[in-house]
Amino acid sequence: MQIRKDFLWGGATAANQYEGGYNEGGKGLSIADVEKGARHGVPREIHDQIKDGVYYPSHVATDFYHRYKEDIALFAEMGFKAYRMSIAWTRIFPNGDELEPNEEGLKFYDDVFDELKKYNIEPIVTLSHYETPLHLVKEYGSWRSRKLVDFFVRYCEVVFNRYKGKVKYWMTFNEINATYISPRPWHQAGIVYQEGEDKAKTMVQASHHMLVASALAVIKGHEIDSENKIGCMLLYPEVYAATCAPEDQILRRNKMDNVFYYGDVHVRGYYSNVNTAVWDRIGAHPDMEKEDENILYMGKVDYIAFSYYFSAIEGKNLEMAEGNILIGGKNPYLKVTDWGWAIDPIGLRTSLNDLYDRYQVPLMIVENGMGAYDTIEADGSINDDYRIDYLKQHIDAMLDAIRIDHVDLLGYTPWGCIDLVSAGTGEMRKRYGFIYVDKDDEGKGTLNRSKKKSFFWYKKVIATNGEDTSY
Ligand code: BGP
């Protein structure tokens, strides 16, 4: 099989890590706006309001809000066919529970989509990427509450109507399964477990509300524009059994439930045996309304988008490795990044196969990449061969999955195509971009943009539709 002629090559960002302008244009506070910057290995602190003298990396981030024209021109120069971004919910509904949207926020994304259109870049839009309105967290307990379903669907309806004809590809919740696996599902669901709280119950209930909200959004999105393609978004780390002991294989299977728990409902439209088995195992199941079964069935997604950064291993007596939210064992066959993430391009090929075999719907890789330290040479150049090497290996593996294994893949948008704030640590020094942004971990810098070596390499990859990945 060949790669699609209209393959969506591009890059990915999210408003909370890139956009900045946190209090401009009528925007309200999101959960990201009260999360302090930190360092590798130091957990990020979450505040319930903005505190004086504290540096919050999302507030300016890397300033897409003011520089979107310059940045989109750079994306176009690389030849992007697509650009994955998110709409900040709090630009549209500053508190989340208003009845009327904020016109200035809507106008901002109109301008962004018009700018993309100038260069024929297809927007791929995440509706909620780690940026739940803070007011909904404080007032309603976030996704613990069924009320969020209505607030989210109202927001989706507004943006589907407003951007009809401008945006075709949508995703509901970024890495929805982060709610399941994170020890602190703040980013995804806006939840910090309270002392004495039944965590398992909260996790399945919040997840249920999000799954129902996602299904309702899909139903509305299809009603508003039958051209809309609405996907889910899963965090997919390939997991291997640590040994060939059959018990390790069962542990591996159980570990993958974190993905299939959500994938099954999103794609098949019902709670499967995976879900009911998980409920038994953790001793909790969600309360449901009688219409939910039908909603989930009617709101099946059109495609699966997923992020892939690393693989992990599962088994008894593991030596633990680092991951941003998925902790697994160290794999002796793999090298790791400076942040301890195992580099495993073949794992991407396996992931593509496993997802496609199981679900038989088109796939999109909407995040992949390597966070690394970059050095600026005396002449201003940035020779990021390590990044090129990582991406080349992953693109080659992706092409094998298409050409050899016949997986139906819509596109590839590597993460942080321009430097932005790390979700896991809040750092700037953990860089993913083809485009460098002059900003440090204290928030200092000119915010000027410059092209790294990888910029020119990726441009060639896109221009040849993946035929030439050499460097
Ligand atoms: C994913 C998130 C992104 C992004 C990426 C890299 O889990 O969807 O928002 O940040 O991870 O992680 P980090 O920023 O911690 O390096």
For residue range 49-74, what is the model confidence (pLDDT) as tens digits?
999 999 999 999 999 999 999 999 99
Q: What is the pTM of this model?
A: 0.97
- Over residues 26-52, the mean pLDDT reads 90
Task: Decide if 195 is catalytic.
Answer: no
Distance in Å from the first CA to the final CA of the chain: 25
CB of 174 sitting under 6 A from ligand 1: yes
Atom of ligand 1 nearest to the CA of 422: 14
User: What is the token pair recorded at 137?
Assistant: 């967290």
CA–centroid distance, residue 236 to ligand 1 (Å): 12
The CATH superfamily label for domain 8-463 reads Glycosidases (3.20.20.80)
Q: Choose the catalytic residue: 122, 314, 367, 427.
A: 367
pLDDT classification of 275: cutoffs 50, 70, 90: very high
Tell me which residue of 301, 354, 68 sits closest to 176, measured CA to CA: 301
**Binding site membership of 422 for ligand 1 (Cβ less than 6 Å):** yes
The 3-state secondary structure of 204-262, one letter per residue: HHHHHHHHHHHHHHHHHHHHHCCCCEEEEEEECCEEEECCCCHHHHHHHHHHHHHHHHH
Q: Is the pLDDT of residue 189 over 50?
A: yes
Q: How far is the CA of 427 from the centre of ligand 1 (A)?
A: 11
CA–CA dist 434, 456 (Å, integer): 8
Question: Is 14 touching ligand 1 by the criterion CB < 6 Å?
Answer: yes
Ligand 1 pocket residue status of 367, Cβ below 6 Å: yes
* H or E stretch covering 329: none
Domain ranges of the chain: 8-463
- For the chain, give the percent of residues with pLDDT over 90: 89
Q: Residue 411 above 90 pLDDT?
A: yes
Ligand 1 centroid distance, CA of 211 (Å) = 21
- Which residue among 175, 238, 314, 322 is the active-site one? 175
Tell me what pLDDT residue 430 has.
Answer: 96
Q: Is the pLDDT at 324 greater than 60, yes or no?
A: no
* 332 φ/ψ angles, rounded to the nearest 5 degrees: -65, -15
> Is position 377 annotated as part of the catalytic site?
no
Predicted confidence at residue 327, as pLDDT, reads 55
Question: Kindly report the CA angle at 207 between 173 and 411, in degrees rounded to 5?
Answer: 30
* pLDDT (tens digit per residue) in 205-251: 999 999 999 999 999 999 999 999 999 999 998 999 999 999 999 99
